[in-house]
Amino acid sequence: MFDHGATDAILPRLDTESALAQSTEFANALRLAGQAPLMLKSEQNLLVLRRSFWRFPVAMINRAEMPAPAQLFQALHEAGLRRTPIILSPNHRVPELAKLGAVPLMSPASIALLRLQKDATARRAMLAQKWRNRLHHGEAQSLRVTRQNLPLSAGHWLLRADAAQQEARGYQAWPVALTLAYAQANRGCAKLFEARDGNDIVAGVLLLTHGDGATYHVAHTTDRGKALSAHNLLMWRAMEWLAAKGIRQLDLGVINTEDAPGLARFKLGTGAEVKRLGGTWLYWPPLGRSLAPLAALDRTLMSA
């Protein structure tokens, strides 16, 4: 049975509306995986990752709310990051970053964010017509849907399928060890939904819950599952379960209409809204405002 929030909190609970990357649950997983994050005391608690690239230390603040960047930079200074390059990826547009000397690195991505209606009729009405048709088709099949906590096994079929897909498509997501650490450190917060056609598993979806939010983490559907509309059925059952547990929103991840148009249509077909993030910035404290003119030259990179 799901016991939301029933974890041995290693760090103080953060704002429940934060993204996964700024959640207590993510901090718990990092801690268990041996990657102790820094909790930054600024206008709000922020989770800071510390990494090394070619033996050069770098700090990263990902998917954070940044209402007062000047205070944030002061907090970085007070936390001992006086000479460390900081990679900032705000959860929204922050024009003040350029004025303070942060330099844009990547233009803003867009994500699909689904607000979960309590009423099932309202949720179904939000579905795109083609998505709803696929759901009807999936519901008409003899599929059996199960739900469980993610087994703590690196050899689990869904994790292996995801690793193979990453290799085939040339991208990197979470390492398996971190996903397992999340499940272990946050009991009941890594939920696996599977669809079976007879004795065969034809689709799986792994969701990570954090506060009153959730994130679509890993999914895979076999050819047989696609023919049976298993992915739509799993997502609908997952949405029902999340709403019943008081989860208010589901982050479906980045929308990429160029490289993955089918997945983008699937995500938006759930009724999700497109939310534009704040881009990726580099701030190096020793240079401070001296880079502001350069940032101003590149401000079009971050414009809508």
Architecture of domain 111-276: 3-Layer(aba) Sandwich (3.40)
Taking the C-alpha atoms of residue 99 and residue 294, their distance in angstroms, rounded to an integer, is: 10
Q: Where are the domains of the chain?
A: 37-109+277-302, 111-276
- DSSP secondary structure string, 5-71? T-S--SS----TTS-GGGSHHHHHHHHHTT-PPEEEESSSEEEEEEEEETTEEEEEEEEE--S-HHH
β-pairing verdict for 213-221 and 249-254: parallel
Each residue's pLDDT tens digit, 163-213 = 998 888 888 889 999 999 999 999 999 999 999 999 999 999 999 999 999
Each residue's pLDDT tens digit, 228-283 = 999 999 999 999 999 999 999 999 999 988 888 999 999 999 999 999 999 999 99
Yes or no: say if 89 and 280 are a contact pair by the CB < 8 Å rule: yes
Mean pLDDT, rounded, of the chain: 88
Yes or no: say if 28 and 5 are a contact pair by the CB < 8 Å rule: no
* C-alpha of 294 from chain center: 31
Sign of CA dihedral 242, 245, 246, 247: negative
